[in-house]
C-alpha cells in the first residue's frame, strides 16, 4: 500500500514538473490525501502559476522553497530507504497492568519464535505438567523469573508462563549445558527440554530463540557502500573537530588515495546510531566539559556539520541517551522541538531507538534490513554477565550484540534499561532477523559476523571524558566502519590516531 502511494505521488509530481506547474502547501495536502490524479491535474492546470512552491517534502520538513533537483533527491531517497519499524506511540499514563501486558506480549512473541525449533514443537503449558507421568520427557517455554545456585552447586531456575511456574534444575555434572546456563539472565524467554521428577524439571537441553543458521548472506551486484557513525557528542569540549573535518573532506572526495576516494564516491547510505550531541546534565559535572551548554545550539552546530555531507546520501538517524528526549526505550525520533535544524536538512531520515529500516530494495532484490539500537543496555550486561566481562567487556561490543541476538531481545532484563511498558507489543523484541545490526554507545568500533548478520558497533568523535576515566571506558574515536554491499566486506577507516 505504501509503495503504491509513493508511486502515485511520484506520478503527480513528475507530471507537475514537466508542465511547469507550481504547487502550494495547501495543494500538497490534497496530493497526500487523494487517489484521484486527474482531478488534481485539472485543478492545477486551471491555476497554472498562481501558486507558490512551498514545503514540498515527503517528510514534511519545514524550510524554504525547494528546487526540482531537491524534490527529485527526496523522492529518490524515499525509494532508497524504507522504514520497517519506528516507534510512534503518543505518551500516556501507565498502570501496573501495563507491565503485566508488556511481559505477556514478550512471552508470546518469543514463544512464537521458539516454537519454530523442532525440539519445542510439542511444548506444554506449565499448569499441565502435573498431568505428566513421573520421569516423562517434557518441553516448556517460559520467562526466567528467578535464578540461584543450590548448596550442591547446581543451577536452579524458576520458569514462568501465563499459566504457572516451574522449577528447572541444571546439573553441574552436565558441564557444557551448565556453562551455557550460567549466562541466563532474568526476564529472558527460553525453552527447556527435560525430565519431570516431582516438582522439578531436570534440564537436558536449553533452547534460545536465537537467529537461524540458514540465514542468507545477501549481496548486490554493484559496488555500493554504507557507512556507520555514532556518538558525535557535538557541544562537548572533547569533541574532535579536526578529525571530523577529515571525514568531511574524505566523503566529499577531497582526501585519501585513489581507492579511498573511489569508496567515498560510491557511498550510498550513512547511518548515525545516536548521541549526536553531548546534551546537558547527563553525568556529574558534565557542564565543566561543555563548550556549548544549550541543546538547541548543540543541534544547530551538529546540523551545520552534517550539512557538509553530500546531499544525495541519506542520513538515517536514531537517538541515544545523550540526545534531548526521554531516556526510556523505545526512544521516539529526534524531536523537532529541540532538533529543528536537523529536520531542516534535506537528506535526514529520523527513526526511533530502536528501529529497523530497509535499504537498496528493487524489483529483483528485497533489500538489506538494518536494525539500529544505540546500546544503552550494554552497560548492564557487561556488569552482570561474567562471560561478557571476562572476554573483554566494553572492548567486545560484538559479543554483547551476539548475546542479545541469541535472546532475540535488546534489553531482556527488567533493570537493563529504562523502558516504556507497551501494552500491545514489546518493541525491544527482535522479531525480524536483520542483515546488519548497528549499535554505538561504548565509543569503540568493532565488527563481526554472526550467522550472516553483520554486527557493527560505531566509534565516536569525542576523546575520553573524566567520567569515562572514572568508570574505565577507553574510547577509540574517529573510526568509521564501512560495508561494501557487493561483497559484504567491512573496513574501518581511521581519521585520527
Beta strand pairing call for 137-149 and 189-197? antiparallel
pLDDT of residue 158: 97
CATH number, domain with residue 143: 2.40.50.140
Does 467 lie in the same domain as 383? yes
Residue 151 is assigned to a structural domain of this protein: yes
pLDDT of residue 53: 34
Residue 72 is assigned to a structural domain of this protein: no
Does 24 lie in the same domain as 136? no
Count of structural domains, the chain: 3
pLDDT of residue 14: 59
pLDDT of residue 11: 61
195: which strand partners? 137, 202
111 vs 178: CA distance, rounded Å: 23
Q: What are phi and psi of 224, to 5 degrees?
A: -130, 155
Show which of 153, 176, 207 is a domain's final residue. 207
For cell 516454537, name the residue: 115
For cell 506449565, name the residue: 126
Residue 277 is assigned to a structural domain of this protein: yes
Does 51 lie in the same domain as 25? yes
Confidence (pTM): 0.84
440 vs 400: CA distance, rounded Å: 12
pLDDT of residue 471: 73
Does 136 lie in the same domain as 172? yes
pLDDT tens for the chain, 497 residues: list them: 555 555 556 666 655 555 444 455 455 555 555 555 555 555 555 544 333 333 333 334 444 445 555 555 555 555 689 999 999 877 788 899 999 999 999 999 999 999 999 999 889 999 998 777 778 889 999 999 999 999 999 999 999 999 999 999 999 999 999 999 999 999 999 999 999 988 899 999 999 999 999 899 999 999 999 999 999 999 999 999 999 999 999 999 999 999 999 999 999 999 999 999 999 988 888 888 999 999 999 999 999 999 999 999 999 999 999 999 999 999 999 999 999 999 999 999 999 999 999 999 998 999 999 999 999 999 999 999 999 999 999 999 999 999 999 999 999 999 999 999 999 999 999 999 999 999 999 999 999 999 999 999 999 999 988 878 877 778 899 999 999 999 999 999 999 86
Does 412 lie in the same domain as 338? yes
CATH number, domain with residue 438: 3.60.21.50
**How does DSSP classify residue 119?**
G
Does 154 lie in the same domain as 21? no
Residue 71 is assigned to a structural domain of this protein: no
Does 231 lie in the same domain as 160? no
Does 37 lie in the same domain as 7? yes
Residues 6 or more apart whose Cβ sits within 8 Å of residue 413: 185, 186, 187, 188, 380, 381, 384
Residues 441 and 374 sit within 8 Å (Cβ to Cβ): yes
**Helix or strand holding residue 296 (H, E):** helix 295-306
pLDDT of residue 58: 34
pLDDT of residue 38: 56
Residues 483 and 226 sit within 8 Å (Cβ to Cβ): yes
The domain of 187 spans 96-207
Residue 326 is assigned to a structural domain of this protein: yes
202 vs 189: CA distance, rounded Å: 18
Does 454 lie in the same domain as 428? yes
Residue 216 is assigned to a structural domain of this protein: no
Residue 64 is assigned to a structural domain of this protein: no
Does 177 lie in the same domain as 285? no
104 vs 83: CA distance, rounded Å: 26
Residues 6 or more apart whose Cβ sits within 8 Å of residue 110: 141, 189, 209, 408, 409, 429
Cell numbers at residue 28, please? 500538497
361 vs 36: CA distance, rounded Å: 27
Does 441 lie in the same domain as 296? yes
Residue 87 is assigned to a structural domain of this protein: no
CA-based end-to-end distance of the chain? 49
> What is the three-class DSSP state of 223?
coil
Burial of 369-381, coded b for 16+ CB within 10 Å and e otherwise, reads: bbbbbbbbbbbbb
Residues 178 and 155 sit within 8 Å (Cβ to Cβ): yes
Burial of 276-299, coded b for 16+ CB within 10 Å and e otherwise, reads: bbbbbeeeeebeebbebeebeebb
Does 127 lie in the same domain as 171? yes
Amino acid at each position: 500500500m505504501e509503495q503504491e502511494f509513493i508511486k502515485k505521488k511520484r506520478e503527480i509530481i513528475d507530471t507537475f514538473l514537466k508542465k511547469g506547474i507550481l504547487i502550494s502547501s495547501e495543494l500538497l495536502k490534497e496530493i497526500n490525501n487523494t487517489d484521484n490524479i486527474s482531478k488534481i491535474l485539472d485543478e492545477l492546470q486551471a491555476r497554472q502559476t498562481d501558486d507558490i512552491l512551498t514545503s514540498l517534502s515527503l517528510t514534511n520538513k519545514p524550510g524554504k522553497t525547494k528546487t526540482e533537483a531537491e524534490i527529485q533527491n527526496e523522492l529518490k531517497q524515499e525509494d532508497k530507504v524504507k522504514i520497517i519499524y519506528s516507534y510512534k506511540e503518543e505518551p500516556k499514563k501507565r498502570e501496573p497492568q501495563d507491565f503485566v501486558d508488556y511481559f505477556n506480549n514478550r512471552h508470546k512473541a518469543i514463544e512464537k519464535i521458539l516454537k519454530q525449533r523442532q525440539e519445542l514443537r510439542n511444548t506444554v503449558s506449565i499448569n499441565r505438567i502435573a498431568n505428566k507421568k513421573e520421569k516423562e520427557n517434557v518441553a516448556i517455554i517460559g520467562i526466567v523469573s528467578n535464578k540461584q545456585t543450590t548448596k550442591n552447586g547446581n543451577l536452579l531456575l524458576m520458569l514462568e508462563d501465563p499459566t504457572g511456574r516451574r522449577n528447572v534444575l541444571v546439573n553441574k555434572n552436565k558441564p557444557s549445558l551448565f556453562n551455557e546456563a550460567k549466562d541466563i539472565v532474568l526476564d529472558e524467554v527460553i525453552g527447556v527440554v527435560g525430565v519431570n521428577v516431582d516438582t522439578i524439571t531436570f534440564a537436558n537441553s536449553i533452547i534460545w530463540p536465537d537467529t537461524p543458521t540458514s540465514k542468507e548472506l545477501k549481496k548486490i551486484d554493484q559496488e555500493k557502500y554504507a557507512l556507520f557513525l555514532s556518538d558525535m557528542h557535538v557541544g562537548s569540549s572533547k569533541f574532535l573537530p579536526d578529525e571530523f573535518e577529515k571525514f568531511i573532506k574524505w566523503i566529499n572526495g577531497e582526501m585519501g588515495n585513489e581507492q579511498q576516494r573511489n569508496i567515498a564516491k560510491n557511498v550510498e547510505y550513512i547511518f548515525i546510531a545516536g548521541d549526536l550531541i553531548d546534551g546537558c546534565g547527563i553525568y556529574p559535572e558534565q557542564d565543566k566539559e561543555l563548550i556549548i551548554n544549550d541543546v538547541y545550539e548543540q543541534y544547530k552546530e551538529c546540523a551545520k556539520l552534517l550539512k557538509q555531507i553530500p546531499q544525495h546520501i541519506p542520513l538515517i538517524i536514531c537517538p541515544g541517551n545523550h540526545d534531548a528526549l526521554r531516556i526510556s526505550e523505545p526512544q521516539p525520533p529526534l524531536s523537532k522541538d529541540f532538533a529543528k535544524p536537523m529536520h531542516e536538512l534535506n537528506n535526514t531520515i529520523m527513526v526511533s531507538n530502536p528501529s529497523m529500516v530497509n535499504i537498496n530494495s528493487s524489483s529483483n532484490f528485497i533489500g538489506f534490513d538494518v536494525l539500529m539500537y544505540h546500546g544503552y543496555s550494554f552497560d548492564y550486561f557487561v556488569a552482570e554477565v561474567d562471560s561478557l566481562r571476562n572476554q573483554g567487556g566494553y572492548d567486545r561490543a560484538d559479543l554483547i550484540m551476539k548475546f542479545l541476538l541469541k535472546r532475540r531481545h535488546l534489553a531482556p532484563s527488567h533493570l537493563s534499561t529504562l523502558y516504556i511498558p507497551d501494552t500491545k507489543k514489546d518493541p525491544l523484541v527482535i522479531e525480524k532477523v536483520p542483515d546488519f545490526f548497528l549499535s554505538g554507545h561504548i565509543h569503540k568500533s568493532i565488527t563481526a559476523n554472526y550467522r550472516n548478520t553483520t554486527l557493527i558497533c560505531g566509534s565516536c568523535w569525542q576523546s575520553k571524558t573524566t567520567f569515562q576515566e572514572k568508570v574505565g571506558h577507553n574510547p577509540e574515536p574517529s573510526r568509521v566502519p564501512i560495508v561494501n554491499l557487493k561483497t559484504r566486506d567491512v573496513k574501518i577507516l581511521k581519521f585520527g590516531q
